[in-house]
Amino acid sequence: MKIGLIVNPIAGMGGSVGLKGTDGEAYRKAIELGAKPVTPGRIEETLNLINRKDVFFFVAPGKMGEDYIKKFKFNYEVVGKIGEETTSEDTKRIAREMVEKGIQLLIFVGGDGTARDIADAVDLKIPVIAIPSGVKMFSSVFALSPHAAARMIDEFNGECEEKEVLDIDEDAFRENKLSARLYGYLKVPKIKDLLQKGKEASNVSRSAEENKREIANYVVDNMENDILYILGPGTTVKAITDKLGVEKTLLGIDAVYNKKLVGRDLNEKGLLELIDKYKNAKIIVTPIGGNGFIFGRGSKQFTPEILKRVGKENIIVVGTKDKVFKLECLRVDTGDVEVDKELSGYMKVITGNKEELIMEVRY
């Protein structure tokens, strides 16, 4: 089977430094803040797990594919040319060249922006497998994890379905506004339980808002003194800060200590500094509606190092009943398999005033 491979080498770099994306000039800002590439680890993890033998890869040059495939024993051919700095036009051009080479499946590594580029280039001509490596990844074309992507490659038998690609306004996202529209569709292998579901819109009905206030009242009433509370993104968590009377970065990460704001829109560096300063820390997060991710989508500032420092026992999950009752499970995809294993198992989810639900966590 002829498989194409394209890696966006800068995808996801803005996550740990709190930039909520790397489109445009944000990439240079991410470099200035000390961001490191994350896609090499994601594609190498996938390639290491592929068991299928009947494959021949057509790969993009250098850091867009060739650098990783040559570490393994796959047969491959390099397609196209790139410069020192890669662009979305490189992705589109090379994808089209691979289609001309007769590939039967295209693997790409990146986020929602990369998915849009691939949709522009190949439309519905061939199926794709998307390895999640961006910051946002709200489109429903992505595999749940590199492990899931490898299974999709091994089990692919030609049966496909169409999934949505979303256009996320990254500038608005940085301003704490989630603005999304349907951009197009990509064809993906139809393999149950390996694809993430797209993000569902937040429920703004009266009952849902009341539920959020119930959760907020319960959490605030049970907050302990001299504990750093690190607050993840989302409207359910924002209800907690509303109760405290402090400002929340809706799509970012903030922190309170003794019910006072001590950090706003924090990146990994800022979080580590606060954890070092206050010693005892807890994380409060809410799952993404539709796919159930609590770590690994939309909040990449919660890096494996942060999660190891805080510990599973100090993670508080909150969610409205209308959201969590639709979820099969909670999910994590931190980029570190060992951390994912530590977080897996079961967690309590606070769903109201003195109301909790036990949910499985999968990776």
DSSP 30-92: HHHTT----HHHHHHHHHHH----S-EEEEBSGGGBHHHHTTSS--EEE-S---SS--HHHHH
In this predicted structure, the answer to whether residue 216 has a pLDDT above a threshold of 80 is yes
In this predicted structure, the answer to whether residue 357 has a pLDDT above a threshold of 60 is yes
Confidence bin at 93 (pLDDT 50/70/90): very high
Give the residue among 146, 141, 118 at the shortest CA–CA distance from 190: 141
**What DSSP letter does each residue of 164-198 carry, written as one string?**
EEEEE-HHHHHTT---EEEEEEEEEE--TTSBPPP
In this structure, are 320 and 355 located in the same domain?
yes
The pLDDT tens digits of the residues spanning 233-248 come to 999 999 999 999 999 9
The pLDDT tens digits of the residues spanning 4-53 come to 999 999 886 766 665 655 565 665 666 666 667 788 999 999 999 999 99
Q: In the chain, count of helices (H) and strands (E)? A: 13, 16
Q: Which domain holds residue 334?
A: 206-362
Instruction: Residue 147: count other Cβ atoms within 10 Å of its Cβ.
Output: 17
Residue 332 lies in a domain: yes
For residue 306, give the CATH number of its domain: 3.40.50
In this structure, are 145 and 76 located in the same domain?
yes
Residue 196 lies in a domain: no
Supply the pLDDT for residue 20.
55
In this structure, are 213 and 273 located in the same domain?
yes
In this structure, are 27 and 176 located in the same domain?
yes
Supply the pLDDT for residue 315.
98
Confidence bin at 207 (pLDDT 50/70/90): confident
Residue 158 lies in a domain: yes
Among 195-209, 245-259, 307-321, the minimum mean pLDDT is found in: 195-209
Distance CA 115, CA 182 (A): 12
Residue 6 lies in a domain: yes
Residue 6 and residue 65 in contact, taking contact as beta carbons nearer than 8 Å:
yes
Instruction: Residue 248: count other Cβ atoms within 10 Å of its Cβ.
Output: 24
- Three-point CA angle 120, 126, 128, nearest 5°: 80
Region of 239 (left: φ > 0; alpha: ψ -120 to 50; beta: rest) is alpha
Residue 194 lies in a domain: no
The pLDDT tens digits of the residues spanning 264-306 come to 999 999 999 999 999 999 999 999 988 899 999 888 899 999 9
Residue with structure tokens 């989630």? 178
Confidence bin at 350 (pLDDT 50/70/90): very high
Supply the pLDDT for residue 37.
77
Average pLDDT, the chain: 90
In this structure, are 217 and 184 located in the same domain?
no
Distance CA 137, CA 152 (A): 18
Q: What is the pTM of this model?
A: 0.76
In this structure, are 129 and 174 located in the same domain?
yes
Distance CA 210, CA 151 (A): 41
Confidence bin at 196 (pLDDT 50/70/90): confident
CB-based burial of residue 41 (10 Å sphere; 0-12 exposed, 13-18 middle, 19+ buried)?
Answer: middle
Of 274 and 191, more confident:
274
Give the residue among 236, 232, 201 at the shortest CA–CA distance from 310: 232
In this structure, are 159 and 228 located in the same domain?
no
The pLDDT tens digits of the residues spanning 121-179 come to 999 999 999 999 877 678 889 999 999 999 999 999 999 999 999 887 766 665 666 66
Sheet with 315-318, edge to edge strand ranges: 260-263, 254-257, 228-231, 281-285, 315-318, 345-352, 355-362, 330-332, 293-295
If one counts the domains in the chain, the total is 2
